[in-house]
Structure 1
């Protein structure tokens, strides 16, 4: 979001991000003349021989923490150990620096309150907004701003990015005006297909918090439509038997939900086998659990996709489903 506004306004910055952005031809830029560097943080290890989280190396002047949700349990074996990395990150903010933080995430809020006596802290939260057919209208300082993005988690991120933008000289009005043309980052609620009253999205969501936020966002945006949500357990963390209970009710906002995992992938990652019953229990029921791509397709084939929002969530592709082809097939079958 920040880089989109920067691009729209025409500021010269260097950057490193983890997703392809519209308006940018690459995900990393390093130059001799930019006075600002925008880095997307990542708590994962720097390399196999440097086991420090990447974001511990950044030494930022201004930092943002938008949310903390336990992940990478092969590296951070306990929740406390995972949260500690963000506390250590706050300690790497340079003297006189600032921390922008989301007050609606309990762990982040604790960090913001802990560090406010040491560095300047800037809290933010979800703005006042209304759901519109084309997206969202945000109200701020008596003015309305139409946006194409939707979902509470996206609007929280919007406010965080707005506070960052202000630190580099972009006023709130200019930032929100620039965001009118923002359609989202690649694989983050990315629209795949749309026809009449059918729409299909794909999303990278795979952690419990991201899964819950994304499913909830689609249901809120398409409250009068049937929401079908499919997700793939694909990462090391998600396929660990001990981690499954963290997915409790993560897809409750969907009208119909499917969870797919591949026993072969579990074996390839050298993890203890998991069963359909364990996955079902982990999600708190209310989902159909399958273990083959053919079963995913059979699940989808049972539905009439008129008046429907379809959401496909995975860091993989359900072992062979081409989302563009699937969207085209469904659109061709609609009246």
Structure 2
């Protein structure tokens, strides 16, 4: 993008990426304004800290003037948004944020992490290795990472841009998937498991967008694909002119005293804080992409032991000698299955209580529930929580405990629709040699998980 100062207006500035992008551009000296109908923390507090929080919530077409250089449009806005309509009528340039990100990174080597799962973790691994060795890079990542003030970094000088590639739609007027804008030089597809059924009505439609992503790599690009996922393998074994498609699978490893140890040919055994087959796949492709970026194996293995994981991805909340409490962002069926299996395998000598909150549009959709069949099978005690108010807000058909039990197909499943009942149930459990896993993209109806975890491990 031009180095001149631009006057930029954000429509739906409160989004998780949008507010970070607004702050990043403000810090680069641009004149930034924005609107939203409501903004929650942490976006609200961060925007206020930088003087970018709108004076009042709502949509104000008068903010769009002939002095506005361009608009960045968030997915939260509607196609009939009055600010958007005014910008369109005035002929002002309108970007979705992935379009703008591409323009900002057009002259850099772009690394794009795609797939239904593992995107944030792999992106965080790459950033960790770069930061560990003091190497400059720009980035966009979908979650706040420990040690980073923002999820977006845009500079003039960094030669590499590391991008978490989301398959969700770009904006209300740009119905293409975000990652189709980025034109990778290096990238990966981690796995394909049907998600976002409000947008991708069939599994075939969802799968096709990843094939389209593979087609967007620049000439000479390098695409790494998870050969352990048959859907990914089928897409990436189709020849594509001008790019190299290279398979990967999980890194060789073993588990010793509840800790994962990487097995390497030239660097011995390397202890890491990550665990689970999916994370071993994530680690393998992060290593492959680092090598493609001219880092050495030695540099990768030196950095990766200090990587603690991405926020809310198998995050340990509390522990003592014989029990631990974890929270994980897992919500899609494949993620729930993989996370539950990983924790049970890592702590084979402990029981596992696994709790899943059904929170997303897909997970609360009665027609989708069957995708969770046996997802919690590895848990010794399996629990599902849902809030009926969330179903009403999403205007979905009502579901009940019997619907959920039938869909999961597990005789040991307990279902709650009130968080107080869930907490009472958990307090009543015996926690000797037992771990607790809480999985959700929400917050279990504002449950104080840290307090709960401390109460469990203190007994």
Same fold, TM-score > 0.5, yes or no: yes
**SS at structure 2 position matched to 1:259:** strand
User: Does the 8 Å CA contact 1:90/1:115 hold for their aligned counterparts?
Assistant: no
The match for 1:151 is 276
| CA offset digits 1:205-250 (Å, max 9, x no partner) | 0000000010011001110101000010000000111111110111
Distance 1:191 1:264 in 2: 29
Structure 2 unaligned residues grouped into runs of 5+: 1-124
Deviation, 1:128, is 1.7
* 2:416 aligned residue: 290
User: Does residue 222 of structure 2 align to residue 98 of structure 1?
Assistant: yes
RMSD, aligned CA? 1.2
Distance 1:245 1:14 in 2: 40
For residue 116 of structure 1, report the CA deviation from its aligned partner.
Answer: 5.3
Q: CA deviation at 1:133?
A: 3.0
CA contact (8 A) 2:214 2:236 kept: no
Partner of 1:171: 296
Name the structure 2 match of 1:26.
150
Measure the CA separation in 1 of the matches of 2:263 and 2:367.
42
Q: Does 1:108 align with 2:235?
A: no
Identify if the C-alpha distance between structure 1 residues 116 and 163 changes in structure 2 by more than 3 Å, giving closer, same or farther.
farther
Alpha-carbon displacement from aligned partner over 1:26-45 (angstroms, at most 9, x marks no partner): 21100000110000010001
Deviations 1:131-153 (A, max 9, x none): 12352111122522111111110
Give the match's secondary structure for 2:287: helix
Larger Rg: 2
Give CA deviations for 1:40-94 in whole Å, capped at 9, x if unaligned.
Answer: 0100011122111100100111111111111000000000000000001111111
- Please give the alpha-carbon distance, in whole angstroms, between the structure 1 residues aligned to 2:175 and 2:182: 15
- Does the 8 Å contact 1:134/1:148 carry over to 2? no
Q: Deviations over 1:255-304 (max 9, x none)?
A: 00100111111011000111211111111123111111122112212211
**Structure 1 Cα separation of the partners of residues 127 and 241 of structure 2:** 30
| Match of residue 161, structure 1, among 277, 283, 286 | 286
- 1:99-156 Cα offsets, whole Å, 9 max, x none, are 0111001111111201356520121101221112352111122522111111110010
Distance in 2, Cα, partners of 1:267 & 1:22? 35
2:200 is aligned to 76
Which residues in structure 2 correspond to 1:226-237 (within 5 Å)? 226-237=351-362
Task: Provide the rounded CA distance (Å) in 1 between the counterparts of 2:236 and 2:253.
Answer: 25
1:154-175: CA deviation from partner (whole Å, max 9, x where unpaired) = 0100001111111111122321
Give the distance between the partners of 1:298 and 1:156, measured in 2 at CA.
Answer: 37
Structure 1, 296-305 or 161-170: larger mean CA deviation: 296-305
Instruction: Spell out, residue by residue over 1:170-194, the C-alpha distance to the aligned partner (whole angstroms, 9 max, x if none).
Output: 1223212210001100000000001
Q: In 1, are the aligned partners of 2:258 and 2:346 still within 8 Å (CA)?
A: no
SS of residue in 2 equivalent to 1:33: coil
Aligned twin of 2:138: 14
Query: What 5-or-longer segments of structure 1 have no aligned partner?
Result: none
2:441 corresponds, among 290, 294, 315, to 315
